[in-house]
A and B are shown apart, each in its own frame.
Chain A
Amino acid sequence: MNTQTDQILPFAGILEQAAASLPGADLDWVRAMRIRSYDRYVELGIPTVRQEAWKYTRLKTLEDTVFSPYHGDSNQTVDVLPGIHAASGAGVRLVFVNGHFRADLSNQEELPAGVILENLAATMIRDSNWLESQIANPLLGAAGSLESLNAAAMHDGYVLHVAKNVVVVKPIEVVFVGGLSEGPVASFPRNLIVLDEGAEARIIVHQCSAGTDASFSNTVSTVSLGQNARLSLATLQEEGDDATSVSTTQVECARDSAFDSMTLSMGAQLSRTEQHVALAGEGSSCRLDGAYLMRGSSHCDHTTLVDHLVPNTTSNEMFKGVLNDESRAVFQGKIVVHPDAQHTDGRMLNKTMLLSDRAEIDTKPELEIYADDVKCAHGATSGQLDETALFYLRSRGIPEAQARNLLVQSFLGEVIERITDDVLRDTITEKVVGWLPTGGQSS
């Protein structure tokens, strides 16, 4: 571990060191985008707690550890790959190890006609013009520091393009495996999802660690939904204790399209999941759900921003979590109703249960409203297990530990029940049950 002073910018010089080995080195627009983004990153620096958006989350690991992108061989053996629908070997799946695409572990067959699913480097070769038009989408706004760093250093990621009126019935699973290296490794996945008019797809993203080395991943995903398109995206964050993971997802919804997201955070030393949804077409809607289960000294941060840009759009957010030991969770949600975005319906709920007296929750549910005929509400609560409910269960002969677990499970049940995919819902329920403390517990 190297100790750095605050003045040294992490990843300084990353572009010169790696430019040649990064995909798209022969494409002018990619080179220009990398240079422009790197300059912006240098200008902005790594976010600090002095910035409002990062008030509660400190990227401490970047201060004490020097991470570098993985350059070793890409044939590491991965023992068990997580999969829900795609149990090892079957189903559609893309696998990335330390940020590098592994064709040998992936399966891109069985996809209906009109669907392109490949890694970013492959798209750069196959259809660079289309990629440029999608990645440089002006509506997505000025990039923040970490997004700029990603754009400068991105090496691979998944690209999904579903053509007009094509419905992808089977879920697509994408697995990111980190920590399989010697020394701290950084990865910068860049993903792109484009659903044309009337298209539908489901994606399940697994973020996990196979090795035990420190890892830093900085992911940016861009989602563009055409008229009437539907995307459901589930992210399962189960990385190891040495992982630091930040991700930003930018979503743009056209008329009558719908974006559904479910984030399960139960891994990583520090994770920050940031989602920005722009409801840009009338009748569009989004649902952002999340469950977090934290223990040890881990930290998770869910930050959402929903922009209601036009009339008649709907957003609904529910994040619920349970914190044990010295863990800490942050929820920052913001709903912005722009002028003229009348008849907006925006809802946001964050509930947290603290199981330990050293755990901490910091919540900031924000509303920013510039239109008068709207319905917006948010709520936030924090507390512990309901003693009366516990007593009720115990009085019926249920042992304390089991009663506590039942209550925690039912607390999270409210958000888990909103998952429409039965298999996914059962898997997540199993994971929650597995997380619950087995022994007795005192508070």
Chain B
Amino acid sequence: MSATVETVDQITDLADEKYKYGFVTDIESDTLPPGLNEDTIRFISAKKDEPEWMLEWRLKAFRHWLTLEEPDWQKPKFPKIDYQDACYYAAPKNMKDGPQSLDEVDPELLATYEKLGIPLREQEMLAGVAVDAVFDSVSVATTFKAKLEEVGVIFCPISEAVKRCPELVKKYMGSVVPFNDNTYATLNSAVFTDGSFVYIPKGVRCPMELSTYFRINEANTGQFERTLIIADEGSYVSYLEGCTAPMRDENQLHAAVVELIAHDDAEIKYSTVQNWYPGDENGVGGIYNFVTKRAACRGRNSKVSWTQVETGSAITWKYPSCVLLGDNSVGEFYSIAITNNRQMADTGTKMIHIGKNTSSRIISKGISAGKSDQTYRGLVRMAGKANGARNYTQCDSLLIGDTCGAHTVPYIESKNPSAVVEHEATTSTISEDQLFYLRQRGIDEETAVALIVNGFCRDVLQQLPMEFAVEAQKLVGISLEGSVG
């Protein structure tokens, strides 16, 4: 009960809050002029002081990208992106040599992160979450490095990992999402500027939650980060990612790639709270969030769990997926997607069952309000050898108002008689009875709706690590603000 009261309070507090992350930080930055060609890529690679093989890989991806056409099967339609008009490298100027410690980080930048609610310094004290913050294209600070190194965990910007442990990067990068996977992943492979790298050695349970905070600050830039997480035999890691961007009236592209690899008995929990700038109520501006996220459960008994709370972005278009190769491996996908105003989302997951006795669970909650449009698109595939595989899917949509849309497009393919697939989907609206019940107890309409929606999302909110669950609940309230009445 107390939790509910708290929720209501938080939501009431936030009633007037619009997109509070829409500020711009005024710091000098080192930006490459707009345009995309092989020189851009050579420049990025040189800036990062990368070895030759990395540059070759980027160029291979770029040449392939030139041959690709953009897909058009997705539900959200948008004007063609002019890739020559965007900047592919923007870094805060003082960061050229990479920070050695937090003391060297530009104080203004630290203040930005504080505004975002991730005081790096404080967190260092609080033995809480280790944060890798990516500002525009460059990783600015990684906290708790030393503490993590004690147990052998490598948590660093990927540009550093390329130098520090090239054999790991070489072995795993592109092994889950190959450079030629899809238009946006290929573009990312060519121009990625930074991101996080995590390696958890055998048998280690990562002592703290790892986290990355992404922020797009510069105008007219695209953000292309790449995350690679490897959990070796018997290890465990929980990883959080959060994103924000300033309010601008142009569309900015965010095309990231996330690759997860889980070996025997390893477990990775990946949580995302995505709150990129969604554009204004007329659909002007906002981030195009086109991300390729995929996990390979390579080992026996391995497990990967995706949890996402998607409230931001003008267009969200992503399918965090699991390839369940190892016998008995487990894939999970928990998702809340909230769209309001003119936001569009086409999101879901793919569960590819290849190993025996693999199991997967998909819980997707979609909430559409305003004039937004939302699609759940998912694939469950049972390969011929996936004996005893199991899937359970539930996707529920909630519509608020009669000008929004909610769509469900599941694909189920089964080639194995002993594999069991179950899929359920429902679409409904906020029931008048529930609303009336809350209203007659003196709760105003907006709060009542937020309460009902929080209840609708409960199954997924419970999967989030504590501190993020609170933030996510607040976001649910803010995102739906102004959608009733």
**Beyond A367-B427, A381-B422, is A373–B402 a contact (Cβ under 8 Å)?**
yes
By a CB distance below 8 angstroms, the chain B residues around A368 are 405, 407
Q: How many residues of A contact B (CB 8 A)?
A: 37
**Beyond A342-B402, A364-B409, is A384–B425 a contact (Cβ under 8 Å)?**
no
Task: State which of A373, A382, A443 has its C-beta within 8 Å of the C-beta of B414.
Answer: A382
Interface string of A332-359 (1 = CB under 8 A from B): 0000000110100000000010111111
**Cα separation A311 to B417 with both chains bound (whole Å):** 41
By a CB distance below 8 angstroms, the chain A residues around B242 are none
By a CB distance below 8 angstroms, the chain A residues around B408 are 365-367, 378
**Cα separation A380 to B421 with both chains bound (whole Å):** 8
* B407 adjacent to A372 (CB under 8 Å): no
By a CB distance below 8 angstroms, the chain B residues around A376 are 426-428
**Cα separation A190 to B419 with both chains bound (whole Å):** 41
By a CB distance below 8 angstroms, the chain B residues around A379 are 422-425
Residue B127 interfacial (CB < 8 Å)? no
* A382 adjacent to B404 (CB under 8 Å): no
Task: State which of B403, B406, B415, B423 has its C-beta within 8 Å of the C-beta of A369.
Answer: B406
By a CB distance below 8 angstroms, the chain A residues around B14 are none
**Beyond A372-B400, A374-B427, A376-B426, is A381–B420 a contact (Cβ under 8 Å)?**
yes
- B20 CB to closest chain A CB (Å) equals 28
By a CB distance below 8 angstroms, the chain B residues around A373 are 402, 429
- A318 CB to closest chain B CB (Å) equals 15
**Cα separation A384 to B423 with both chains bound (whole Å):** 16
**Cα separation A360 to B384 with both chains bound (whole Å):** 9
Residue A362 interfacial (CB < 8 Å)? yes
* B402 adjacent to A339 (CB under 8 Å): yes
B-side interface mostly: strand
**Cα separation A443 to B413 with both chains bound (whole Å):** 20
Q: How many residues of B contact A (CB 8 A)?
A: 35
Residue A419 interfacial (CB < 8 Å)? no
**Cα separation A374 to B406 with both chains bound (whole Å):** 11
* B423 adjacent to A381 (CB under 8 Å): yes
Residue A377 interfacial (CB < 8 Å)? yes
**Cα separation A217 to B441 with both chains bound (whole Å):** 64
* B412 adjacent to A363 (CB under 8 Å): yes
Residue B137 interfacial (CB < 8 Å)? no
- Nearest neighbor of A383 in chain B, beta-carbon distance: B420
Interface residues of B in 415-443 (CB under 8 A from A): 415-429
- Nearest neighbor of A341 in chain B, beta-carbon distance: B402
- B474 CB to closest chain A CB (Å) equals 24
By a CB distance below 8 angstroms, the chain A residues around B425 are 365, 367, 377-379
Residue B57 interfacial (CB < 8 Å)? no
- A443 CB to closest chain B CB (Å) equals 6
By a CB distance below 8 angstroms, the chain A residues around B414 are 352, 354, 360-362, 382
Task: State which of A340, A357, A374, A380 has its C-beta within 8 Å of the C-beta of B417.
Answer: A357
**Cα separation A378 to B411 with both chains bound (whole Å):** 13
**Cα separation A378 to B406 with both chains bound (whole Å):** 14
**Cα separation A359 to B422 with both chains bound (whole Å):** 18
Residue B305 interfacial (CB < 8 Å)? no
Interface string of B328-365 (1 = CB under 8 A from A): 00000000000000000000000000000000000000
* A377 adjacent to B427 (CB under 8 Å): yes
* A366 adjacent to B409 (CB under 8 Å): yes
- Nearest neighbor of A357 in chain B, beta-carbon distance: B417
**Cα separation A357 to B403 with both chains bound (whole Å):** 46
**Beyond A369-B407, A376-B426, is A360–B413 a contact (Cβ under 8 Å)?**
yes
Q: Can you give 21 contacting A-B residue pairs, CB < 8 Å?
A: A352-B414, A354-B417, A356-B417, A357-B417, A358-B384, A358-B415, A359-B417, A363-B423, A364-B409, A364-B410, A367-B397, A369-B407, A372-B399, A372-B402, A373-B429, A375-B427, A376-B427, A378-B424, A379-B423, A380-B421, A383-B420
A-B contact sample (4 more), CB < 8 A, given A377-B427, A381-B422: A369-B397, A370-B405, A371-B399, A383-B420
Q: 9 smallest A-B Cβ distances: which pairs?
A: A354-B417, A372-B399, A384-B417, A383-B420, A363-B412, A367-B408, A376-B427, A380-B423, A382-B414
